[in-house]
Structure 1
Amino acid sequence: MNVRSFDALTVGELDTWEELRAGNPALDSPYFHPGFSAAVHAAGRTVHVAVGDGVFVPHHRDGRLLRPVGWPGADFQGPILAAGAPFRPLDLLGNGAGGYAFDHLIEQAPGFERWVVTRRPSPYLDVSGGLDGYLGRASKSGKDNMGQARRRLARAARELGEVRFEADSCDAEALARVIELKRAQYAATGAQDYFAEPERVRLLESLLKTRDPGFGGVLSTVHAGPRLLAAHFGLRSGGVLHWWFPVYDPELAKLSPGWILLRELVAAAPALGVSRIDLGRGEDEYKRRAKTGESVVCQGIVTRNPLRRAAVTALARAREMARNGRLPRSR
C-alpha cells in the first residue's frame, strides 16, 4: 500500500474516501469521516494514510507501531473500504512498521479475525422518535432513570433557578469548562489525563468550530440558574452522535446531572437530526442502564512477530480477567 501524509491526499481521493464510507453502513460513526482525520492532523498530530485500491487506513506512527487515527481517543477504528470488500491487514506492515495495534476495531472489519485477542461491548441508544421513541425501546432500568432525571430536573429548578438546555452550543468558555472538569475527574480517579497533550485540547477547540453539514463537534450544556449542571462534547456525522466527553459538577452529584443531560439530549435528537447516540466501549453502570442495544469492538494487534503477539495477548487477557473480577490463582 502507498502511505502518505493526510494533507498529501487529493480532493478526488478524499471524495472517494467519503463515497466508500457512505456506501458502507458499518462506517457511519464520525470517527470514519475524513473530517476527523483532518482535524486530528491539523491539531498537530501527524496522520498518515495507507492508500490502496479502494481502501484508506488513517493512522499514526509510534516508533515501529502503527495506531488508528485519533488513538487513544478514537472509539471506533478500522479501514475505510466498500462493504464486503476484502482486505489484508498485513499489507499495512512494512517500511519499518512491525505492528498495527487496535483497541476499538469494529467487528465488521474484514480480514482481522485472526488478529483479534478480546472483544468488548459498545452500547448505543436508538433515539429515533426522540424521548417517546427511546422510552418505547428502553429497558425498565432506562425508563426508571429517565423518570428520575425528569423529577430531579424539576428539583434543580426549584433549588438553583431556571433550567436551560442548549443542544448545540458554540460557547468556547463552556468547552474550556468541560475540559477542566474532565481533567479534575482524571486526577480524582487516577486515570491517565487525555488532555495532558496540548494537541488534544486544540482538537476539541477546532471541532467546536467545525460546522460542516456532514461532520462536526457538538457541545451540549445544562444550566440551572448560574450553575453548569452537566455538559458533553461529542462528534456528529449524519444521524449518529458519538458520546465522547461527558462531565458534571461533582458538587451537584445528588441531582444525577449526567442523566438529566442525557434525557435532554435524547429529547432533542429529532431536532438535531440524530437517530443514534453511540456511548462508546465500556460496561459503566449508566451505559448498561441507558442502552437500547450494543455493537462489538475488538482489541488486538496485526504483527508477524509471534513474541509481540503473545505479549499483547497475555496483557489483554489479564486486563479482561481483572475487569471481570477473575484474578488468576497463585500457584
Structure 2
Amino acid sequence: MTTTFIAFDRLGAAELDAWHTLRAKNPLLDSPYFHPGFAAAVHASGPPVTVAVHRDARGEVTALLAGHRDGTLLRPVGWPGADFQGPVLAPGTTFDPRLLLTGGVRAFPFDHLLDGLADAEPWVLSRRPSPFLDVTGGLDGYLGRASKSGKDNMGQARRRAAKAARELGEIRFAADVVDAAALARVVELKRAQYRATGAADYFAEPGRAELLTRLMGTRDPDFAGVLSTLHAGPTLLAAHFGMRSGGVLHWWFPVYDPAFGRLAPGWMLLRELVSAAPALGLTRIDLGRGDDEYKRRAKTGECQVAQGLVTRSRVRLLLRRARESALATAKSSAAGPALRGLAHRFRDR
C-alpha cells in the first residue's frame, strides 16, 4: 500500500475517475465539499491544492484527501472555509490518517471532520453539531418536520415579506442567478458582518472572492455555485452564496442588509429557498457548524463534525487539546462578547 501527494492539476483520469466513483458509492460524501469540482475551483483561485492518493497492494486508488501544504502542516482543502472535511473513500473501508504524515507533513489539523471515520478517533479532541434542513417536498414538507420554533419563524417570514412589499415594493426572489454585482454585494455585506462580530475576515485573503466568482460560473449539473437573491422593489434585502451537488445545497455565505434587520430578511430568504427546493431538485440544505440561533430554530436534524489534530507528537496534541478547551470556555463564558470575539478571531488559526 502506498500514499503519495499529487498536485491537483497533475491528477490523471484514473485518479479523477476513482474520486467520482468512490464518492458516488458513499452517501455520507454527498456534500459539495467532497466533489472534485470544489478542489478544482480552490486550486485555480487560491493556494495550491495537493491530493493524498492512497493505493492498495494492487495499485488501485482506495482513498483520496485534498488539502493545502502549509509548511509541515497539511490543511483540509478550502481551509478555513471548508465546513466538511475528510477522505473520499468507499463505505466500510478504512483510512489511517497517519498515512498523511509523509513527505515532510508532520500534522493534519481538522475542524470539520465528517463524523464516522473511526481511524481518526485517537486524534479527535471535540465534536460539534452541524445542523441541516430536510427540504424534501418543499415548504410543506419542511413544515411537517420542523420544530415549533421553525414553523413560527417561517410564518413570521411570510408576514414580514408582505410588510416589506407594502413598504418597499414587490418581493422578487431569484433562486440561482449569475450576477457579478450581487455577488460583490454579498462579499461586501459579509465583510461588514465580520468586522461587527469580531470574526476573522475570510475575504481578507486574496483569491477568496475570486473563488466565489469561479464557483458562480460553474454550471455542471452535478456541481455548481448557487447565488440566491431577495429584493423588495429595487432594494436587495438578503442574499446567499453557496454550493450544490446533486440534491444537497450547502448554506455558505448568507447576508442581509442591516438597514432592514427589523424585517428579519434572512428568514424571508430561507423561506423562499425552501419553497423553491423541489424546482431546484434539492432535498437537503446543510447549514454548517455553528450555534447561531437561527440554525437552532430552523434545523430539522444535525450531524456531527470533529475537531482535532493528527500528529505523532504527544506534546503537540496536548497543546491543541488545551487550545480547544480554552476556546470552548471563551465561547461559553459569562464574560460575554469580548471572549466570544476572541474565540472567533483565533478559531481557525
Could you state the TM-score of these two structures normalised by the residue count of structure 2?
0.92
Deviations 1:158-210 (A, max 9, x none): 00001100000111110000001101111122211100112111100000000
From 78, 84, 92, the equivalent of 1:84 is 92
1:326 deviates by 7.4
Alignment of 1:201-220 (within 5 A): 201-220=209-228
Deviations 1:70-128 (A, max 9, x none): 00000000000101111111010022111000000001124101110000000000000
Question: For residue 81 of structure 1, what is the amino acid of its counterpart?
Answer: L
Alignment of 1:278-297 (within 5 A): 278-297=286-305
**1:8: which partner in 2?**
10
**1:255: which partner in 2?**
263
Distance 1:326 1:24, change over 3 A: farther
Rounded to whole Å, the distance in 1 between the matches of 2:201 and 2:242 is 18
Rounded to whole Å, the distance in 2 between the matches of 1:261 and 1:57 is 34
8 Å Cα contact 2:94/2:117 also seen in 1: no
Question: For residue 246 of structure 2, what is the amino acid of its counterpart?
Answer: G
**2:193: which partner in 1?**
185
**1:45: which partner in 2?**
47
**2:247: which partner in 1?**
239
Rounded to whole Å, the distance in 2 between the matches of 1:276 and 1:256 is 22
Rounded to whole Å, the distance in 1 between the matches of 2:70 and 2:289 is 23
Describe the SS at the equivalent of 1:59: strand
From 187, 198, 202, the equivalent of 2:206 is 198
From 81, 98, 104, the equivalent of 1:96 is 104
Describe the SS at the equivalent of 1:111: helix
Alignment of 1:265-276 (within 5 A): 265-276=273-284
Alignment of 1:108-127 (within 5 A): 108-127=116-135
Question: For residue 13 of structure 1, what is the amino acid of its counterpart?
Answer: E
Contiguous gaps of at least 5 residues in structure 1: none
8 Å Cα contact 2:135/2:142 also seen in 1: yes
**1:149: which partner in 2?**
157
**1:17: which partner in 2?**
19
Deviations 1:9-52 (A, max 9, x none): 01221111011001101101000000000000011310000101
Deviations 1:258-311 (A, max 9, x none): 000000000000000000000000111000000000000000000001111011
Rounded to whole Å, the distance in 2 between the matches of 1:250 and 1:144 is 22
Rounded to whole Å, the distance in 2 between the matches of 1:282 and 1:268 is 24
Q: Indicate the RMSD between aligned Cα atoms, in angstroms.
A: 0.9
Paired positions, count: 327
Rounded to whole Å, the distance in 2 between the matches of 1:97 and 1:2 is 12
From 46, 61, 64, the equivalent of 2:69 is 61
Rounded to whole Å, the distance in 1 between the matches of 2:244 and 2:109 is 26
Describe the SS at the equivalent of 1:148: helix
Rounded to whole Å, the distance in 1 between the matches of 2:46 and 2:315 is 33
From 115, 127, 131, the equivalent of 1:107 is 115
Question: For residue 152 of structure 2, what is the amino acid of its counterpart?
Answer: D
From 147, 168, 183, the equivalent of 1:175 is 183
Rounded to whole Å, the distance in 2 between the matches of 1:287 and 1:217 is 21
Contiguous gaps of at least 5 residues in structure 2: 56-61, 336-349
Question: For residue 23 of structure 1, what is the amino acid of its counterpart?
Answer: K
Distance 1:110 1:9, change over 3 A: farther
Rounded to whole Å, the distance in 2 between the matches of 1:305 and 1:200 is 32
Describe the SS at the equivalent of 1:188: helix
Is 2:309 aligned against 1:301?
yes
From 323, 328, 331, the equivalent of 1:320 is 328
1:325 deviates by 2.9
From 164, 168, 171, the equivalent of 2:172 is 164
Rounded to whole Å, the distance in 1 between the matches of 2:24 and 2:331 is 36
Rounded to whole Å, the distance in 1 between the matches of 2:112 and 2:272 is 28
**2:343: which partner in 1?**
none
Describe the SS at the equivalent of 1:73: coil
Describe the SS at the equivalent of 1:74: coil
